[in-house]
Amino acid sequence: MGTKVNIIVGSHVWAEEPDVAWVDGEVVKINGEEAEIQVANGKKIVQKLSKLYPKDMEAAAGGVDDMTKLSYLHEPGVLQNLATRYELNEIYTYTGNILIAVNPFQRLQHLYDSHMMQQYKGAPFGELSPHVFAVADVAYRAMIHEGRSNSILVSGESGAGKTETTKMLMQYLAYLGGRAATEGRTVEQQVLESNPVLEAFGNAKTVRNNNSSRFGKFVEIQFDKHGRISGAAVRTYLLERSRVCQISDPERNYHCFYLLCAAPQEELDKYKLEHPRTYHYLNKSNCYDLVGVSDAREYLATRRAMDIVGISTQEQDAIFRVVAAILHIGNIEFAKGKEADSSVLKDDKSKFHLETAAELLMCDPGALTDALCKRVMVTPEEVIKRSLDPYSATISRDGFAKTIYSRLFDWLVDKINSSIGQDANSKCLIGVLDIYGFESFKSNSFEQFCINYTNEKLQQHFNQHVFKMEQEEYTKEQIDWSYIEFVDNQDVLDLIEKETWWRYCTSR
């Protein structure tokens, strides 16, 4: 990493400091491989020479808008530049043709208004300040001129701002390729308005983000030969199913559960719902409300968004019946049955929740009890029904809840897609990939493992394009260059993708 320079007494350097990442100071003494540094806050620290990075004392006061303009391209230099710009509300910075966005955690309205859109339309890349609109503009213009589809990859840790960035990309693409609304709503309006519906069912509060997407999303915006939007499709990946049954403090389950519990009284009566703390799937965390968010208002907003994307009132009722049924299913408890390894409903409360769930799902309560308390095995010869003990019945109950929730989500995505409409004759498309972010906890679920693996795979794609292919090109053309060191994660991918590793994991 970075440029090799001689560090001597008097050099201004960056040194790693666990509490604040990096501190800067002046080298006052060198002892063999170690240097003593006088840090700006008056402290003196000792650090290995090999771990020090030179500080650019002539750096521009407001930072640089492209990292490639930095004198020293190392981690502290890059972070310092981002921090300097962030202080000035400059949240976007280029690294060549890649855009880095720092989450401002506040609405910077002036950055996204229609005047800004006009400015970026057709402006050569790099001529104006770094901006997410510039990235969308390049993708659009390249698509028009080269007649080829393009994709924009939005990546970053959870809470970094991927979904917000994706929305802005889509808004700008809608501005470039939008048509004047003649009859009803345009494709682009429908794509943008499908967001609140997807977020109500696929987003939740996590430790890091009050509105964290718990699914991956690839939005395809299709264009006709005149560069006008002609259709769109939303493809979703790997919804975090486990959240339906398992949450920990201070997280929340999917928003839709809380929205429904805050619905007008007549709806609560219809779905036989009470406060979220009544429900097993919600009361494993003490967090029920989000600061600054009214679930009652969000419920009405989601209903309106459903109207807009073409989900009928009857379908909306069916959707919320499933949501309510899941909450009731979670409250069904089991006790030991008379026969060995069998189970029955624990008490009248459980009976009430089972009957309500059956009524909401429009199925026979006896069949629902059987589905939860028995396992059906189909062999070539016969169909065997086996009773389940209370523990296994509880697992079966949770599996059932997760399955109907994820099918409801898939159904919603299909519904949104069919009402937006796809253009089978589309010439080109721009895809925006908003994959959910890398996270690492003390204990990580299999789902988290899959998410992190996907992020590693995307990182490799990035490495391939930015470093490997570029450097191969230099070698081929015999251009004099110095090799750029980068952390190649191919070993990690090889390990995960090897069949032997999977055999080892599954045999344990």
Ligand X SMILES: Nc1ncnc2c1ncn2[C@@H]1O[C@H](COP(=O)(O)OP(=O)(O)OP(=O)(O)O)[C@@H](O)[C@H]1O
Binding residues (CB under 6 A) for ligand X: these are 103-105, 107-108, 156, 158-164, 209, 211-213, 436-437
Tokens of 79: 């972070």
Q: Strand 334-336 relative to strand 216-223: parallel, antiparallel, unpaired? A: unpaired
Identified catalytic residue from 177, 202, 330, 437 = 437
Q: Which is nearer to ligand X, 211 or 342 (CB)?
A: 211
In the complex, the smallest distance separating the C-beta of residue 124 from ligand X, rounded to whole angstroms, is: 24
Q: Which is nearer to ligand X, 35 or 200 (CB)?
A: 200
Helix (H, G, I), strand (E, B), or coil: what is residue 175?
helix
CB 212 within 8 Å of CB 159: yes
Q: Which is nearer to ligand X, 211 or 471 (CB)?
A: 211
Identified catalytic residue from 150, 158, 211, 387 = 158
CB 7 within 8 Å of CB 54: yes
Is 500 assigned a catalytic role?
no
Give the CA distances from residue 204 to residues 139, 159, 209, 386, in Å, rounded to whole numbers and listed in that order: 31, 12, 8, 37
CA atoms within 13 A on the CB side of 219: 28
Is 36 assigned a catalytic role?
no
Q: Which is nearer to ligand X, 191 or 361 (CB)?
A: 191
Q: Which is nearer to ligand X, 77 or 216 (CB)?
A: 216
Is 2 assigned a catalytic role?
no
CB 331 within 8 Å of CB 280: yes
Identified catalytic residue from 11, 93, 155, 163 = 163
Is 485 assigned a catalytic role?
no
In the complex, the smallest distance separating the C-beta of residue 261 from ligand X, rounded to whole angstroms, is: 22
Annotated binding-site ranges: 156-163
Is 150 assigned a catalytic role?
no
In the complex, the smallest distance separating the C-beta of residue 60 from ligand X, rounded to whole angstroms, is: 24
Residue type, 225: K
- Kindly report whether the peptide bond that precedes residue 250 is cis, defined as omega within 30 degrees of 0: yes
In the complex, the smallest distance separating the C-beta of residue 256 from ligand X, rounded to whole angstroms, is: 16
The H-or-E segment that residue 234 falls in is strand 229-237
Is 339 assigned a catalytic role?
no
CB 108 within 8 Å of CB 93: no
CA atoms within 13 A on the CB side of 490: 6
Identified catalytic residue from 81, 194, 212, 236 = 212
Q: For residue 218, what are the contacts with CB-CB under 8 A and spacing of at least 6?
A: 234, 235, 236, 237, 431, 432, 433, 434
Tokens of 51: 């771990």
In the complex, the smallest distance separating the C-beta of residue 434 from ligand X, rounded to whole angstroms, is: 7
Annotated binding-site ranges for ATP: 156-163
Is 445 assigned a catalytic role?
no
Number of Cβ atoms within 10 Å of the Cβ of 224: 16
Identified catalytic residue from 159, 202, 231, 330 = 159
CB 82 within 8 Å of CB 70: no
Tokens of 164: 């917000």
Q: Which is nearer to ligand X, 158 or 406 (CB)?
A: 158
CB 246 within 8 Å of CB 208: no
Is 403 assigned a catalytic role?
no
In the complex, the smallest distance separating the C-beta of residue 211 from ligand X, rounded to whole angstroms, is: 4
Q: Which is nearer to ligand X, 105 or 483 (CB)?
A: 105
In the complex, the smallest distance separating the C-beta of residue 352 from ligand X, rounded to whole angstroms, is: 36
| Cα(455)–Cα(101) distance, integer angstroms | 18
Closest Cα partner for 237 from 458, 443, 420, 491?
Answer: 458
Q: Burial level of 339, CB count in 10 A (0-12/13-18/19+)? A: exposed
Q: Hey, which residues are catalytic here?
A: 158-159, 163, 209, 212-213, 437, 439
